[in-house]
Amino acid sequence: MTNIFDNLEGEDSVFKDIKPLDHRFLPEHLPHRKEQITSIAKYWVEALNNVAPSDITIYGKTGTGKTAAAKFAKEQLKEAAKNKSIFVKVEYIRCTDYTTEYQVIAHLCQQLGRDVPHRGWTKAEVINTFRDIFKTNAFGKKLILIVILDEIDILLQKDGDGILYTLTRTENVSVLSISNYLDFKKFIKPRVMSSLRDREIVFPPYNAEQLSDILQERSRLSFDKGVLDDDVIPLCSAMAAKEEGDARYALDLLRTAGELADEKDSEIIHGNFVREAKDRIEHNKITDIIITLPTQQQRVLEALLNLTKENKEITSGKLYDAYKLVSKGDSVTYRRIFDFINELEMLGIISTNTISRGRGKGRTNIISLQCDTDLLESTLYSL
Ligand SMILES: Nc1ncnc2c1ncn2[C@@H]1O[C@H](COP(=O)(O)OP(=O)(O)OP(=O)(O)O)[C@@H](O)[C@H]1O
Ligand SMILES: [Mg+2]
């Protein structure tokens, strides 16, 4: 009997190995991040002298290599500590997985060999257990712990700054926070700020040339020679440089272009596949955002779609009226609509433009859709 996987397994592919194009792949080199990684190392080297290093904050837009650089530094420090009789631990925590202080501290305790339940204890009990680890000399040696809090904005927004207070007030613990926003410290109260004496490292966006170097390295691991047309990498790099220098997007373009080549049974990845890849990624991104929005926001989009199709100039007042029609009595207040408009604008689905109606008549916000109307319509009606 034939198995459905038989024909698929050995199928021809442009990929030698697709893994290096995955976001989670940690490359051996990080071109154009030497300066930032060296900065981290200069602070962390203290740990090798058995001293808790300064706290560090890393800022940068999405896809600028923050997570990759922190993990790279973590591996390097681990290796350096191995050759010395120093007991250093670096724990990486993604704050989308551990969203409260309790969860983070409990997780740290578990990683350090203490049995703490995921829930049920009071916060104070968990914190005391954590602090206890540093009182008793772990394995007879003094333990230095570095905690990487990736996407810390999410934790601070959801659970406040208690986590930073606890970690910075525990002896021998150092924190490396990673944030997408320069102003994330607005979530931190002065009391906590004073114990977080952090050093800041900024990750600037990559330009097209730098993205091209990054893609060259990864494509060598993923493709055999001759598979890529000459213009593929320059195209991916130029497009991603326009999207705020996002290396993740550049890698996505390259991988998707390769997948398109496979789908088309082409042995070569051509430049026009990259343009097609751009549309496909855009398409998936917008549908992903729309289907995960709360129902009331989807209704706002539906109202916006209706008005757009009628070619009307859309003010917030008009939008609210149209929204009430769509939501048939189950609607939120006019004030909430402003929050929704802001959120949708941040997600890049709509844009607003303030115009002046002339003297004494005040100013009006004009709202317009920034995504393809057909795509929006098909997504909304598929829900
Ligand atoms: N200098 C680099 N060299 C090689 N690969 C890189 C480099 N910078 C980023 N990358 C790769 O690009 C992708 C995105 O990088 P990373 O996840 O580190 O970005 P980030 O700044 O953490 O983004 P976000 O804010 O969205 O979390 C990863 O696959 C990473 O390996
Ligand atoms: Mg990251």
Tell me the pLDDT tens digit for each residue of 103-125. 999 999 999 999 898 888 999 99
User: Mutation test of ligand 1: which of 67, 97, 209, 210 has the most ligand atoms closer than 8 Å to its C-beta?
Assistant: 67
- Judged by DSSP in three states, 11 sits in coil
**pLDDT tens across 168-197, in order?**
999 999 999 999 988 888 888 888 888 888
Measured from the CB, is residue 201 less than 6 Å from ligand 1? Answer: no
Please determine, for residue 296, whether its predicted confidence score (pLDDT) is greater than 70: yes
pLDDT of residue 121: 92
Going from the Cα of 88 to the center of ligand 2, the distance in angstroms, rounded, reads 23
Q: Give the chain's largest Cα–Cα span.
A: 81
Q: Which atom of ligand 1 is nearest to the CA of 71?
A: 18
Q: For a ligand 1 pocket test, name from 18, 29, 75, 248 the mutation site with the most ligand atoms within 8 angstroms of its C-beta.
A: 248
pLDDT at 238 over 70: yes
Q: Are 382 and 302 in contact (CB under 8 A)?
A: no
Q: How far is C-alpha 59 from the chain's CA centre?
A: 12
DSSP state of 50: T
Contacts of 255 (CB under 8 A, 6+ apart): 18, 21, 22, 222
**So what's the pLDDT on residue 1?**
67
Whole-number average pLDDT of the chain: 91
Which ligand places an atom closest to the C-alpha of 65?
Answer: 1
Mean pLDDT for the stretch of residues 91-104: 95
pLDDT at 215: 97
Q: Give the CA count within 13 Å in the CB-facing half-sphere of 314.
A: 24
Measured CA to CA, the distance from residue 212 to residue 230 in angstroms comes to 12
Listed in sequence order, the residues at least 6 apart from 15 whose beta carbon sits closer than 8 Å to its beta carbon are 21, 222, 223, 258, 262
In angstroms, what is the span from residue 99 Cα to ligand 2's centroid?
A: 16
Can you read off the two tokens belonging to residue 67? 């997570």
Instruction: Determine the 3-state secondary structure of 265 from DSSP.
Output: coil
What is the β-pairing status of strands 350-356 and 363-369? Answer: antiparallel
Judge whether residue 354 has pLDDT over 90. Answer: no
Q: How far apart are CA 358 and CA 72, in angstroms?
A: 57
Angle at 289 between CA 351 and CA 373, to 5 degrees: 55
Domain annotation for the chain: domains and CATH numbers: 33-203 (3.40.50.300), 207-290 (1.10.8.60), 293-381 (1.10.10.10)
Q: What tokens does 146 get?
A: 């570095």
- Cβ–ligand 1 distance for 33 under 6 Å, the answer yes
Q: How far is 273 from 84, CA to CA, in rounded Å? A: 51
Alpha carbon distance 182, 239 (integer Å): 25
Query: Which of 166, 196, 130 shows the shortest CA–CA distance to 179?
Result: 196
Per-residue confidence band for 48, with pLDDT thresholds at 50, 70 and 90:
very high
Percent with pLDDT over 70 in the chain: 97
pLDDT reading at 9 higher than 70: no
